[in-house]
Amino acid sequence: MNIQQALDKLFSLHQFGIKLGLNKTIDLLNRIGNPQNKLKAIHVAGSNGKGSTSSFIASILMEAGFRVGLYTSPHLVKFNERIRVNGIEIPDGYVAVFMTELETYIEKNEPTFFELTTAMAFKYFSESDLDFAVIETGLGGRLDSTNTIIPMASVITNIGLEHTNVLGMNIPDIAYEKSCIIKKNRPVFIGNVLKDAEDVIIKKAGEMESDFHFLTEQITEYSDYLRLHLAKYDFNIYSTPLRGRYQLFNAALAVSVVDNLFLFEDSSFYRKGIANVKVNSCIQGRYEIINNNPTVIYDAAHNYEGLEVFLEEFKKEINNYDVKTVIFGCMKDKNYNAMLKLLDKYFDDIYVTTIEYERAMKIGELVEAAEVLGIKALPLDKPAELINNFIAIENNTCLVVLGSIYLLGDIKEKMEKLKRT
């Protein structure tokens, strides 16, 4: 296979959907030599912030001189973005060879897209002379394909109502699913979680005889910065390249993890790791300002909690704009009714769109849901064209694109095609 044939085959596996369970992943990993057992990994789960926290951890370790693998999902534009070593994407050639070698196995066993991608990441990392790997879960934790590693430490950023059709209908159930990434005698680090989730995580940590560390017990919060109380000194975080106050907490959680594991005497690794997170991890879609005058913002607020934290930041500048417009799309398993109500409070015009993905809400479904709520939502088939036309007119308005990373990536890819035509 060449790279295009390999990617076509890989993406065709979406037809098998999401199949939670570890048996097929374990079988696949056995087939390729169990590369996960060779990794010194940090495992990150959470409803929001897990991609940012993973990126901060990887960036700090890189600044300390380590060779670091970073596995995140989904990608924005190019599949290779998911698997990086020191910020460099997995080569096309490796992807093509991996898929070619497993072609017969794939036909016979029908692994899912995520199972195969996870196995690819583990194999590539095991052959890349890494010091450490930072692994982000895909969905949940207990039955997620990444939960085949025995990490140095587990990280749970927060818990929200998401994927309720799969993970459970309440916070304790979802917290349990995510807490199952905690491994025997390995520490777990927890971000800002609700009391119901906290109780579940503490119980699971006790069962696994694992030390647990709550970020809320390590920080003092001030109006314009956070003070993180580390083992040997205090560390202040005033800002990060990823805009939004919530990113201070993601950065603090990352520092807490690394400090507990390594006890660096030199705090400059933390400072540089935070400052260079965009360069080191190539993270995108977090309050990302694409254009000024008029302002265009992309944000991967894929659930209600994510939308809330985005709006907390956006409200700081909302009065600067004469007109506020949003393009919104989401997955079927999100609380889209609550999200639409929240959007209606802050935006003058709401456009709804979709992507070609089995989990995505269709445009008509979002329009109908909005109508039931008494909200006017305008259907939008070609969001890239609307954005392109919007940018061409200089005025004091704002266009925000909100939704899953899948949506942002699809729009970014189409924007690039428009530039080339």
Whole-structure pTM value: 0.91
Residue-wise pLDDT for 155-190, tens only, equals 999 987 655 444 556 889 899 999 999 999 999 999
Token duo for residue 262: 């390594």
Q: Where are the domains of the chain?
A: 3-281, 288-420
Task: Name the fold adopted by 288-420.
Answer: Protein-Tyrosine Phosphatase; Chain A (3.90.190)
* H helical segments located in 161-245: 164-167, 171-179, 195-207
Token duo for residue 146: 């990444």
- Give me the phi and psi of 230, to 5 degrees please: -95, 180
Give the class (CATH, top level) of 3-281: alpha beta
Per CATH, 3-281 and 288-420 having the same topology is answered no
Residue-wise pLDDT for 256-309, tens only, equals 999 999 888 889 999 999 999 999 998 989 999 999 999 999 999 988 989 999
Residue 354 has pLDDT above 90, yes or no: yes
The H or E element spanning position 366 is helix 363-372
Instruction: List Cβ neighbours of 274 (8 Å cut-off, separation of 6 or more).
Output: 56, 59, 60, 237, 240, 241, 251, 254, 255
Residue 40 has pLDDT above 50, yes or no: yes
